[in-house]
Structure 1
Amino acid sequence: MKLLLRTSPDSKGRKSYTFFHSSVSKAVETCFLSDYAKRMAYVIRLADYYEFTCTDPETVTAELPLLLQQCKLYDRLVKFLRKDERGISLPPHIRYKYLKELRCTMPCSDGFMRQPLLICNFCAMRTGAFGQMFQNGNSCVICGQVVMAMGKEGFLCQRHYRFGVSDCFICKAMVFQTPRPKQGVLCHMCGILPRCAALNV
């Protein structure tokens, strides 16, 4: 194999191995990765390595989200982007890039069955539910970006709310109208389309 490999330093001076020609890479891919199930098994092994073994946070944030997306481990992807310090360090527009693919596609504009996305007062005052340092009540419920202006109120479609019952979007506890709960908001990026604010994970 050594004759087929080329080494070059990466941005941190570490050795990076690649095939010396794209035809070799294509042959290896055809031979070992043409079967979808086998390919996904390798992708999952790579994702496990970056998430649980790799010690370089920059490499993890560069590689792991895409791998989790490729092998459709969406629950792990959301947890990484919102709960893992390495994922939280990503800028909101990068988190948005991955999370928008998981967002429910049901419309929630006027005239459609919808319910306001409510956050109880206790959760609204806390931070970190969406991978952010700001209060949950003032943060986009998709990407976590703080909503200062141009925000939109968040709604849930009939698939993502219980008819006749109001639940806190974060803790799932029943929400009462007194004291008045906070309605979750969407930032200018996530609020462009009037869609349900829930994620399909």
Structure 2
Amino acid sequence: MADIAYMNQFSCLSGLWFLMLDKGVPRHPGPLKVRPHWEALALQSEYVELVAVNDSFITTEYMVTLDLAKGVYAKFIDWDEQMFDRETCTPAHSANTAISEDLGQVEYVLSDRTGTLTENIMIFRRCCMSDTLYGENNGDALKVVPIKSNDGTITYQAQSQDEEALVTAASKLNMVLASKDSNTAGWLLFLISD
């Protein structure tokens, strides 16, 4: 749009200047004299040349201006004190200049349990190898309640879906908890052939 406005302004001013010339010497505006046909064609060809030259110049200037503005926006993100992680003393760092455009397009923030989108600090609590339990024993191990319905089917209810899935899978594999104390757990596996 600025390109068109600039070209129109130039063509009007150059046309007035061209009409005011008398034998190559500028003169005061007076009554306008109509110039010969070939001079009008020369003016039109100058206008076309100007459009051709400035068209690429204005497009390049526009792109440079946008890139500079994106760089300034990225620096503002780097300098933002609210994006500073105090635990690790790490400031925000924008690796490219397009981040300001990407931030404006965020519609959904997804999170998962693996810690790829959030911080996931894993702490070793306990481990069971060869029927021996290693680690803390604070009594908050698997707490699953079996619920028997009227038709005899057993469903399990637990605090987390993971615990429920583990116990349900063990039940479907015909594993039964035979004994348990503070350090060991004994499981029996019954193989049923069809």
After TM superposition, the score normalised by the length of structure 1 is: 0.24
Structure label with greater radius of gyration: 2
After TM superposition, the score normalised by the length of structure 2 is: 0.25
